[in-house]
Structure 1
Amino acid sequence: MSVPFHMSRTSISRHVMATCQVIWDVLHPLELPTPTAEQWRMIAKRFGDLWDYPFAIGALDGKHIALQNPANSGSMYYNYKGYPSVVLMALSDADSCFILVDCGQYGRISDAGVYNISCISTLLEEKQLDIPTATFLL
């Protein structure tokens, strides 16, 4: 992209990152809003009905997304499988639809390590998700 636009790779990289941030800021509230207390209840009910996990509010997992190793990054992006990656961690509902996502941690970090530094963990620990107490189904 740098040749047709007569810009350096660094400038292109900054513009791409800024554009991605704007896209996230605009689309995140529309396409991936944080569930309300009632929506959490519906998610838990669906887990109970579909999978027989009555108090589950989501399934959490990480996925390594392969990439070309960035210059001067050393082994930061190399995962245990031996290729460079970033980790996409997501919480999904009983129908496998994303509820919360966190992406961009180094591939060398384990799922538990990614969770500990993710926005998902922060939101849960600071009780910002409006999750009802366990007695809501009783």
Structure 2
Amino acid sequence: MPVPTVDKLRSVAEEFYNIWNCPNCVGAIGGKHVRIRCPKDSGSMFFNYKKFFSVILQGVADAKYRFINIEVGGYGKQSDGGTFQASELYHAVTAGKLKLPGPATLPQTNVMAPCVLIGDEASLFCRSF
């Protein structure tokens, strides 16, 4: 998938606000276990809490449910937060290689806030960018 540009992420944030009333949101992140056969000599790396072998698909979607970033191959035993921390997306953001829109004022206020990814409590370990 192409790396999202700052302009694309601004557009995503605008859609999230217009559709979902969620300002400064550049995507919704989540993980899904994809069942696999146990890889040879993998031990328990791919065995998940649901009691089957899997790899994890991590996806970031825009406000209209379209993927803007995916990563496949996380170990089934990893949590969603651990998968995110091990992802190329996380490393690109924290290393400054993925340019994100800067902070913007929250609607109808003077409060500046950073852009955010939203997800369930398992997907993120509370971090804004």
TM surpasses 0.5: yes
Question: Which structure exhibits the higher relative contact order, with contacts defined as CA atoms closer than 8 Å and separated by 6 or more residues?
Answer: 2
Rg bigger for which structure? 1
- Considering fraction of residues, name the structure with more helix: 1
| TM-score normalised by L of structure 1 | 0.72
Structure 1 regions of 5+ residues with no counterpart?
A: 1-31
For the residue of structure 1 that corresponds to 2:25, the secondary structure is coil
Q: Is 1:69 aligned to 2:33, yes or no? A: no
Match of 1:37 in 2: 6
Output the amino acid matched with 2:21: D
Contact 1:79-1:109 within 8 A present in 2 as well: yes
In the alignment, which residue of structure 2 is the partner of 1:95?
A: 64
Cα distance change of structure 1 residues 116 and 126 upon mapping to structure 2, 3 Å threshold: same
Contact 1:41–1:136, Cα closer than 8 Å, also in 2: no
Give the Cα separation in 2 of the matches to 1:76 and 1:38: 38
The sequence identity of aligned pairs, in percent, is 36
1:23-67 Cα shifts (integer Å, max 9, x gaps): xxxxxxxxx211222111110000000111011000011110000
**TM-score with structure 2 length normalisation?**
0.77
What is the aligned residue count? 107
By percentage of residues, which structure has more strand? Answer: 2
Q: Deviations over 1:81-102 (max 9, x none)?
A: 0000001111111111111111
Contact (CA 8 Å) 2:53, 2:76: kept in 1 or not?
Answer: yes
Evaluate the alpha carbon distance shift between residue 136 and residue 33 of structure 1 in structure 2; reply closer, same or farther with a 3 A threshold: farther
- Which SS does the other structure have where 2:26 is aligned? coil
RMSD, aligned CA: 1.5
Structure 1 residue aligned with 2:112: none
- Structure 2 regions of 5+ residues with no counterpart? 108-129
For 1:43 and 1:127, how far apart are their aligned partners in 2? 19
1:57 alignment partner, SS class: strand
Per the TM alignment, residue 117 of structure 1 is displaced from its structure 2 partner at its CA by 0.8
